[in-house]
Amino acid sequence: EAGVAQSPRYKIIEKRQSVAFWCNPISGHATLYWYQQILGQGPKLLIQFQNNGVVDDSQLPKDRFSAERLKGVDSTLKIQPAKLEDSAVYLCASSGRNEKLFFGSGTQLSVL
């Protein structure tokens, strides 16, 4: 089966600019996650969707980060405006009924 698809693979922006990441989960997976992985650290959950509803966004900096999953399939994560400390890899993951998470390869964001 196809894995979790993410784009773009890399993104370089200047601080205060906006950026968006896209994720296409594994077909049939109802749950979708966005994680932030700062260099040298483990991934940190930003937001979890169940179908098109938000389950957990307690660690999402809502003043600058937003995410949506309008039709319960693809999802986009947006940062506006970006800060230097947002430089990280943004990982999307999905899970089905067995709750096993499958991660995409991520989008590496550099904020200059």
Partner 1 sequence: QQQVKQSPQSLIVQKGGIPIINCAYENTAFDYFPWYQQFPGKGPALLIAIRPDVSEKKEGRFTISFNKSAKQFSLHIMDSQPGDSATYFCAPCSGTASKLTFGTGTRLQVTL
Contacting residues toward partner 1, per CB under 8 A: 4, 31, 33, 40-45, 48, 56, 91, 93, 95, 98-106
Cβ distance to partner 1 smaller for residue 14 or 85? 85
Least Cβ distance, residue 99 to partner 1 (angstroms): 4
Rounded CA separation 89/107 (Å)? 5
Cβ distance to partner 1 smaller for residue 14 or 38? 38
Rounded CA separation 105/77 (Å)? 15
Least Cβ distance, residue 74 to partner 1 (angstroms): 17
| Residue 62: DSSP 8-state | T
**CA nearest neighbour of 73 among 93, 52, 96, 47:** 52
- Say whether 76 sits in a helix, a strand or coil: strand
Least Cβ distance, residue 34 to partner 1 (angstroms): 12
